[in-house]
Amino acid sequence: MPICPSCLYEYQEGIETCSDCGVKLVDHLPRKIEQELNEEFVPLHTLPGQVYAEMVKEALEQAGIPCMIKTDVLSSSLLVAANAPGNESRIFVKKRDQKQAQEILHTMMDHI
């Protein structure tokens, strides 16, 4: 069933353009952003800095696992100066991807 990606109105077979939006109809909707946000992310691992986190993110994305990075920068510069690590990055993945993500992370850790 063709559907308008803009207004989500479903059309009959054979129609190619949404009469309201003038947008080309698609067969399948791209995954909706709201769905993404609603899905539960669980913390996977904490890494000592964003560089590592980006590496892990890249590996996860290559495996088709959506993930997000949250970096906690210790807000007080005094605190950073006093105790070195500075910041840490936490990786979040969706709950259903957690097992697979952990395996990938595990493999990666051997190389870091």
The window from 15-23, 25-33, 92-100, 104-112 that contacts Zn ion (CB under 5 A) reads 15-23
CB of 82 to Zn ion, least distance (A): 57
Question: In which element (H, E) is residue 53 found?
Answer: helix 50-62
Rg of the Cα trace of the chain? 21
Considering only 19-27, 29-37, 62-70, 78-86, which stretch makes contact with Zn ion by CB under 5 A? 19-27
For residue 76, the minimal CB distance to Zn ion (Å) is 50
**DSSP letter string, 65-76:** --EEEEEEE-S-
What residues numbered 35-74 form the site for Zn ion, per CB under 5 A? none
The yes or no reply on residue 10 touching Zn ion (CB under 5 A) is no
Question: Which residues, in sequence order, are CB contacts of 76 under 8 Å at separation 6+?
Answer: none
User: Site for Zn ion (CB under 5 A): which residue of 3, 6, 54, 90?
Assistant: 6
What spatial distance separates the first Cα and last Cα of the chain, rounded to whole Å? 48
